[in-house]
Structure 1
Amino acid sequence: MAETAWEWDETLYAGSARHYSVGRWPYPPELAETIGSALDLDCTGRLLDVGCGPGSLTLLLAPLFEAAVGVDADRDMLTEAQRRASEAGVTTVEWRHLRAEDLPADLGTFRVATFAQSYHWMDRPLVARRVRDMLAPDGAWVHVSANTHQGVNGDDGLPYPRPPWPQITELVARYLGPIRRAGQGALPAGTPGGEAEIMLAAGFAGPTRLTIEQGMVVERSVAEVASAVFSLSSSAPHLFGDRLPTFEADLRDLLTTTARDGLFAERRQDVGIAIWRP
């Protein structure tokens, strides 16, 4: 594949939505408690969750607000979010299918805007400016940094083997090539950094950084780790085309032969929070 400037397209996570509930850990309850305490949230005001995916963060934080809006560019993600909301009995969230670049989209003013594992896919300077204008004067932009599909690397003793992530990466590369795929394009150097400079240039102040230390050991099944792989943009189901059944068979064979009694164990990674003020 020729290396050209990457551009977002709607296939970025095509086929991945149904794998989130199986393959990705939920955010810890402490995340809501920490954000609520840091921002003195009192069940008033509105939350805007940008790039909400299947609503993992939206639904966790929704009880801290009067109402919430989850925005995502992937229809399947929003269908999954609506399903989760219905199962949880949450009725205060509105789900909107649109790109962050299309904000404000007449959505009004918000007390808090959140981004979790999503901001790097956007036109960040543009989105920062537009979302800043949507925040109340005493509002906040909250960026949650977390890895919910894979645990901490290490050689400390766990009750079951760790998932063979290096071999999984090699297997994906055998099917898709050595350069990271993302939608219809590729990211040879990975997703971009430099968030702080962008936020400051957009007129934000901060950040205040907080960390939720986890370190808990969790058990995972072969099916859960397989879904974790398919939940990633770099190995989303659509990328494999008609080779998807063969790849999935190879993946499950790898996982089955490296698991013990069908199980793996991983130590969860810490969650970072950056709070910016308009």
Structure 2
Amino acid sequence: MLDQERAWDDLLFKGVAEHYERGRLPYADGLAGVLADELGLDGTGTLADLGCGPGTLARPLAAHFARVVAVDPDPDMIERGRELAAAAGITTITWLTRQAEDVSFDDGELDAAVFAQSFHWMDRARVADHLRRALRTGGHLVHIADVKTERREDGGIPRTEIDALVREFLGEVRRAGRHLLPQGTPGGEEAVLARAGFVGPRRIVVKGKGTLHRTVDDVVAEQYSMSFSAPHLFGEALPEFDARLRALLARHAVDGGFEVGLPSTDVRVWTNPPQP
């Protein structure tokens, strides 16, 4: 599926949307403001958020653009994003249930495009080539992720034991929808974007500050928000897995939960130079 295969796997994030907002740790506080300063945003222009999930970035960035196009192939993610945007009074986001590869923007239509831990699920070369034309000259492509090398306080969450429990139920090789990923998801996005003609990247690290209290339910939601442990993968064994996961977490919880250090956010900003 990754890079080489075109067909979208509709099981990749099946059943994940209801857990995503609660389960995923937030990006570093102030990320939207940092991006606004770095990209010189002034409330005008158009942003594309590709692989947007429930609008984790599209919603906070909407205030900095006149228009946002939020794209995700999972219909539940798009519906959840609409609900959250409506609850926040955000009306400038267009929500599209579509693969990034299937969205057609006019040449120069976009001022910025953002990928929040989503680019690796796409036909990256195809998407990058299209964005090279769709972004205006001087526009930006932004790749966002947690800082992977950071050692943060995890509040005693028994990650090693949780991983072992997942393997017990799903096998030793990482699952992702209908596929197995023995090598994990692909890296090397910098080479892909450089080949497409983008210039960069400039790297910015937005530091995570403080801790967040996570209940057992929060950590369970985090587990179910991941493609490699999406609820549907467990089939009829889901109730047993759920009970054992909760029991494991309860044994390690202090005062009903865990004090988790908030992660820093890794931002890579690419610039779209003039076409040759």
SS at match of 1:136: strand
Deviation at 1:141, TM superposition (A): 0.4
Structure 2 unmatched runs, 5+: none
Aligned to 1:43: 43
Question: What is the aligned counterpart of 1:164 among 150, 153, 158?
Answer: 158
Aligned equivalent of 1:249: 243
State the 4+ residue runs in structure 1 displaced beyond 2 angstroms: 5-8, 25-29, 105-108, 150-154
Aligned runs of 1:173-184 on 2, under 5 Å? 173-184=167-178
1:117 matched residue in structure 2: 117
* Contact 1:152-1:268 within 8 A present in 2 as well: no
Q: Take 2:107 and 2:175, find their aligned partners in 1: how far apart are those partners? A: 33
1:76 aligns with 2:70: no
Distance 2:150 2:204 in 1: 19
| 1:129 CA displacement | 0.5
- Matches of 1:107 and 1:164 in 2, distance apart? 49
Any gaps of 5 or more consecutive residues in structure 1?
Answer: none
Write the distance in 2 (CA, Å) between the matches of 1:135 and 1:36.
17
The one-letter amino acid paired with 1:254 is L
Give 1:151 deviation, angstroms. Answer: 11
Quick check: 1:137 aligned with 2:137?
Answer: yes
Contact 1:207 1:276 in 2 (8 A): yes
Any residues of structure 2 matched to 1:1-278 within 5 Å, and which? 8-104=8-104, 109-146=109-146, 153=151, 161-278=155-272
CA drift of 1:268 comes to 1.8
What SS does the aligned partner of 2:57 have? helix
Q: Tell me by how many angstroms 1:28 deviates.
A: 3.4
The aligned amino acid for 1:57 is: L
Deviations 1:9-36 (A, max 9, x none): 0110100101012111233341111110
Note closer, same or farther for the CA distance 1:38–1:207 as it changes in structure 2 (3 Å cut). same
> For residues 53-111 of structure 1, what are the alpha-carbon distances to aligned partners after superposition, in whole Å with 9 as ceiling and x for unaligned?
01000001110000101000100000110111011110000100110111226697111
The TM-score, its normalising length taken from structure 2, stands at 0.92
Any conservation in 2 of the 1:116–1:146 contact (CA below 8 Å)?
A: no
Q: Point out the more displaced range, 174-183 or 97-106.
A: 97-106
Alpha-carbon separation, structure 1, partners of 2:265 and 2:100? 23
- Classify 1:145/1:199 alpha carbon distance in 2 versus 1 (closer, same or farther; 3 Å): same
Moved more, 161-170 or 90-99: 161-170
Displacement of 1:272 in angstroms is 0.7
Q: TM-score, normalised by structure 1?
A: 0.91
Deviates more, 1:171-180 or 1:257-266: 257-266
CA distance in 2, matches of 1:221, 1:141: 36
Matched residues in 2 for 1:206 and 1:28: separation? 22
Change (3 A) 1:18 1:25: same
Judge conservation of contact 2:28–2:264 (CA < 8 Å) in 1.
no
Q: Is the 8 A contact 1:15 1:238 kept in 2?
A: yes
Give the CA deviation at 1:136.
Answer: 1.1
Shift of 1:137: 1.2
